[in-house]
Amino acid sequence: MKLLGKLLITGHIEVLTGLAIGGSKSDVAIGGIDNNVIKNSEGVPYIPGSSLKGKLRSLIEKREGRTEVCSCGTDKCFICTVFGTGLPTKNKNITAGPTRLYVRDAKLNENTKKQMEKKEGIFSNLELTYTEGKWENQINRLTSKAAHPRQQERVPAGSIFDFNMIYNILTKKDIEYFHQVITALRLLEDDYLGGNGSRGYGRIQFQNVSILLKTVSDYESGGTGKEIFSGLLSDFEDEEAKNKLKSLVEEEEKA
């Protein structure tokens, strides 16, 4: 397989309802919080690339009706080709090649971070520096009595994270498979990220999405690449993008 180019997918993730991706108790000492969100060494919440990629894969597998993580490793399987084999496999005839999709950790947007620190705008009533606490109760449906009250730490609605993904094009078939990534992103907008989704947590939207193709020639010459798409996922035209990618990759092959 020969690298033909890389698709650079960037943009914003807007948190529409409180986001809770669990961290350890040792992340930061916060009195009264039972379940902390994951944070970096500076105490700032982020969305792990592994959490985002795992959710995208899970949604695609559900759409395909799979009940287990696929590990067939064949190039005919777009799940293994795009997301990786997923599990250790004894299959010696792996033809899918390297994982096509890389997903970076999504960092809290700098403007959001500053607003939170200064308690400005929608974050003026934020209880903690970057997060909020939400009290929850477990209700006994037979007695209607509350039991086990707990406080969940969440990233508040309105927060913006910067996301960054890389999609490697090694064969022409990868161009056909790329729409699976877009489909997964669209599915996620109507699902949830993190925990407690059935209770309303974790609804997100991808905004200001930019997809840029950088061919090997661009890397060799220092070129900036060619824009494939810019906007909201709802405006993304699969067939138009696929035709544009095919044309650009064919130019690369002739060069």
14 neighbors 209 (Cβ within 8 angstroms)? no
SS3 label, residue 166: strand
d(CA 229, CA 211): 5
DSSP, res 32: T
The pLDDT of residue 162 is: 98
* Spatial distance between the Cα atoms of 107 and 234, rounded to a whole number of angstroms: 24
Q: Are 195 and 21 in contact (CB under 8 A)?
A: yes
Burial of 88 (0-12, 13-18, 19+ CB in 10 A): exposed
- Each residue's pLDDT tens digit, 163-207: 999 999 999 899 999 999 999 999 999 999 998 898 899 999 999
Residue with the larger pLDDT of the pair 14 and 242: 14
Q: What is the mean pLDDT of the chain?
A: 88
- The C-alpha atoms of residue 169 and residue 5 are separated, in whole angstroms, by 5
Asked if residue 81 has pLDDT above 50, the reply is yes
pLDDT value, residue 252: 79
- Tens of pLDDT along 5-27? 999 999 999 999 999 998 555 44
